[in-house]
Structure 1
Amino acid sequence: MRNVIVGSLFGTALETYDLYLYGTAAALIFAPLFFPGQDAAVARLLSLSTFAISFISRPVGSLVLGHFGDRIGRKKLLYLTLITMGLSTAGIGFLPTYASAGFWAPLLLCVLRFIQGFAFAGEYSGAVLMLLEHAPRRKRGFYAGLNNVGPVFGFVLSSGLLLAVNAFLTRAEFYSWGWRVPFIASLLLLLIGLYVRSRVAESPVFESAAKVRTQSSRPDRAPAARLFAGYPRELLLVSGAVICHFATFYLFTVFSLSYGQRELGLSNTMVLLVVMLAICTHLVAVPFSAALSDRIGRRKAMLIGLGVIALSAFPFWFLFSTGSFFPMLLGSALLMTGYGLVYGPAPSFTGEAFGPSARFTGFAVATNIGGIIGGGTAPIVGAYLLGHYHSPYPIAAYIVATALISGICVALSRETKDADILHDR
């Protein structure tokens, strides 16, 4: 179990390092490098739009990688996603900018971002399921939730490396070549990740399901066919249940960076530091709520977190808009605590909704449909609402609306704390 925890945490940290590094760069760096000659607001919107491309590719990745994850195994699939994600991120570090390649620069950026999203669709799902399917029944929520501590390290490492490079270089040097360093560093992390993953055993639940499938006399349907035929209600409700925490997180980690820099006139260093410190609340909130879900159930734990997000949305934007470090940190920590309370039970809530023969596909598809609706569009929605209303409070109302939608979906879902995850229904 220790090897599974380390393998899942490190893999997810690496994948989210790649993912969040791009989000930070799209908010703070890429506009003048890949979209010059535009109005500042238009360039920012175009840069943030490239961030959404990852979410467009995720449903494709969910079906393709989910199929192989349910057929050839969780472990083999995780090798593939780790390599694909690491190479595409490093590739961004070698891209020419618009000044030297013209139209080809943003086009290649979009292609590599698409590949990132495709790979992440399988990586996160596989890492969670390895923990869920190795864990003892009464602690499935806790162990599956531990995977979601990994993004804390991914975000802090990517943001910290950007800050370090920025601190040692002049502005001209940073925009000339310094921004490439964190992207190329992904190659080193990839090698470490492959070693760590090699020490993890295949999921026993998958091995059991594969054995049953080979001995069955019934026609063997594709995982996607099993999913849409056997779990349509679960797919719809789980997809809706995860919309809010995706929207909340990406409004905070991507849009708020741009908002703090361009609307409040704050330095990149200050805004990134606030975001990094606030995300560290997940080190406590995620394991706590994941363990709580083993006691009171997945649904109740999720609803508590969604309630905290809704209640903290307006205070967050009020405190963040002061432009003062400690009020910004207080509001950010409050919002991220709510997010962490949802993010802890979300993996077990999602994974237990589907049977083993379609679990990888179901987890990936549901998570990434919710990711597109909630996360992929969130920075663009935030930029539009701010530009139209010239106030951050409509963005707070948007967060509350997503919390309401997700809360309804959670309330309509079945409780899975004591569900049998070894057999299909």
Structure 2
Amino acid sequence: MMASSPQSSLGGPPAGRLDLACPARESAAAMTAQQPTAPAETTATPPRMRKVVTAGLLGTSLETYDLYLYGTASATIFPRLFFTNQSDTVATILSLATFGVSFMARPLGAIIFGHFGDRIGRKETLITTLLLMGVSTAVIGALPTYDSIGALAPVVLVLLRLLQGVGFGGEYSGAVLMLSEHAPAGRRGFYAGLNNIGPVFGFILSTLVFLVTGSLMSDATFTAWGWRIPFLLSAVLVAVGLYVRNQLSESSLFIEAVKKRESATPPLLQVVRRHPKELILGTGSTVALFAIFYLFSTYTLSYATKVLQMDRSTVLWSVILAMVVNGVAIPLAASLSDRVGRRAVCVAGLAAAALWAFPMFSLINTGNSSLLTLALSVQMVFYGVIYAPIAALLSEIFTTSVRFTGAALSYNLGGILGAAFAPIIASALLARYGNTDPIALYIIAMCVISAVCVAALRETRLTNLAEPR
């Protein structure tokens, strides 16, 4: 038997007959055939995808190890080492201010590394950012303190912190782009979100190293020289990260974008001219993300140990457990964003984080370690729900030729507005009002700003990254 034609099976004319009654059908088909089709996205093979995921996670873990290690030290020990000529309150504020300095340098890093990432490639740029962060962190581990070289010590500390900020300005967004541009379109949120587990690993590793080092020696010994060990260890970790990242290759999307590049205009100017709305809203969508995390990771350490007089080790363990919970929430929320959309998941997380602000501080203020762990863990679940879809969202709102610059600039400008001043603002609010209610209101305000910005962005989960915009 002869198989029927597709037309016949769909109710069209039988095979072998001309459809003289519908001449328009042939005309419509011809017109359709002549219309240009949207470029198809290409995805990596499973082995290559596993390599990209491994490199992204490892690189981001090591970069954030450097970042969070400094955050822990600035909240707990650096006030005694680099600001010994100040009162305890002023020393703490100044130490936290050096933590914020990094965020001021990040947009510069986003511009520099975004330019080269969009022009010469994601891979080489990511290798450079990793090296810059790692060397800066290792040098901090060898830096003389105030007692040795006086006021020069905090000055050099700030300069090294600025270099860390420049390096990190291109790190996160570049790693996310590698995952987004290699991933299957229907799973882009999940794979891009996986990169956000890297900071979880980095935070836990830095906190554990800090915690274990401190537990193996007396407080006096740790203050004298033991604190340097976690910083010097960065040099070894970066060597591993450089080896893994060197095995990567560029995505097909980026290679095609380079071939088709028509404009010699720098990516930064293209972003400002062609994507001003995306840049502004992308920046606003991340401010709560940064405020929540750095109040959690930096200010809470200072508040619990210095104000509530809780044991430093106890507080660090609570923070570690909360980060483990966060690591579980991220891939679940990232996968959900592939099904219901980036905006819906992000706004839900922001609403939950805002509602939890007052209950969280009520639990923290008890000074009970179990309630502290509960308060931080619940907040980090909500934080993970916000953080997970942001990775793909910022990648999808910009076209390939300027994606690195646009995403990096949005992310790092959000870092300045949301994180650079958050620990300082929280310290000032507590000093002014004597309670944590204003800090809770501050978190709520940040969540409202981000929710409005996310809602104003277009939904991007079905975006074809190969299409120009």
* TM-score category (smaller protein): over 0.9
The one-letter code sitting in structure 2 at the alignment partner of 1:125 is S
Paired with 2:300 and 2:281, the residues of 1 have a C-alpha distance of: 29
Asked if structure 2 preserves the Cα contact closer than 8 Å seen for 1:85 and 1:119, the reply is yes
Q: Residue 255 of structure 2 aligns with which residue?
A: 207
Query: Structure 2: how far apart are the matches of 1:173 and 1:103?
Result: 23
Deviations 1:237-283 (A, max 9, x none): 01001100100000010000000011100111011111111011122
Counting only pairs closer than 5 Å after superposition, residues 82-161 of structure 1 correspond to structure 2 as 82-161=130-209
Q: Does 1:280 align with 2:324?
A: yes
Shift of 1:424: 2.2
In structure 2, C-alpha distance between the alignment counterparts of 1:9 and 1:137, rounded to whole Å: 20
1:303 and 1:226 map into 2 onto residues whose CA distance is 29
Equivalent residue, structure 1, for 2:126: 78
Matched with 2:44 is: none
> What are structure 2's unaligned runs of at least 5 residues?
1-48
Q: Give the whole-Å Cα distance in 2 for the aligned partners of 1:393 and 1:180.
A: 36
Report how many aligned residue pairs link the two structures. Answer: 421
Alignment of 1:26-425 (within 5 A): 26-213=74-261, 216=262, 219-425=263-469
1:265 counterpart letter in structure 2: Q
How far residue 116 of structure 1 moved from its aligned partner, in angstroms, is: 0.2
Once residues 419 and 228 of structure 1 are traced to their aligned partners in structure 2, the CA distance between those partners, rounded to angstroms, is 21
- Give the residue type in structure 2 aligned to 1:423: E
Q: Secondary structure at the match of 2:310?
A: coil
Runs of 4+ in structure 1 deviating by more than 2 angstroms, as ranges, are none
Distance 1:205 1:281 in 2: 34
CA distance in 1, matches of 2:268, 2:246: 28
Query: Could you say which residue in structure 1 is the equivalent of 2:7?
Result: none
Instruction: Tell me how far apart the structure 2 counterparts of residues 272 and 283 of structure 1 sit (CA, whole Å).
Output: 17
- Which residue does 2:15 correspond to in 1? none
- Amino acid in the other structure paired with 1:372: I
Q: Which structure's CA Rg is the greater one?
A: 2
Distance 2:95 2:256 in 1: 46
Letter of the 1:29 partner, please give it: I
1:171, distance to aligned residue in structure 2 (A): 1.1
1:21 equivalent to 2:65? Answer no
CA distance in 1, matches of 2:198, 2:75: 22
Summarize deviations over 1:112-155 as a string: whole Å, max 9, x none. Answer: 00000000010111100000000000000000000000111101
Kept in 1, the 8 Å contact 2:107–2:409? The answer is yes
Q: How far off its partner does 1:321 sit?
A: 1.1
CA shift digits 1:76-110 (9 cap, x unpaired): 00010011100000000000000000011000000
- 1:171-220 residue CA offsets vs partner (Å, 9 max, x unmatched): 1110110000000000110111011112222122111100111xx4xx42
Overall identity of the aligned pairs, in %: 49
In the alignment, the residues of structure 2 paired with residue 338 and residue 201 of structure 1 have an alpha-carbon distance, to the nearest angstrom, of 34
Deviation, structure 1 residue 422? 1.3
Distance 1:315 1:357 in 2: 45
Secondary structure in structure 1 of the residue aligned to 2:215: helix
Q: What one-letter code is carried by the residue in structure 2 that aligns with 1:354?
A: F
State the Cα distance separating 1:417 from its structure 2 match. 0.7
Matched residues in 1 for 2:435 and 2:340: separation?
Answer: 39
Question: What CA distance in whole angstroms lies between the structure 2 residues aligned with 1:100 and 1:220?
Answer: 51
Tell me the TM-score normalized by structure 2.
0.89
Shift of 1:420: 1.8
Distance 2:292 2:240 in 1: 31
Q: Runs of 5+ in structure 1 lacking a partner?
A: none
2 CA distance for matches of 1:250 and 1:184? 23
Equivalents in 2 of 1:166, 1:288: separation in Å?
34
The Cα offsets for residues 56-86 of structure 1, whole Å up to 9 and x where unpaired, read as 1011111111000000100000010011100
CA distance in structure 1 between the aligned counterparts of 2:326 and 2:116, rounded to whole angstroms: 31
SS in 1 for 2:401: coil
The superposition leaves residues 368-417 of structure 1 with CA deviations (integer Å, 9 ceiling, x where unpaired) of: 11110001111001101111111111111100110001000011110111
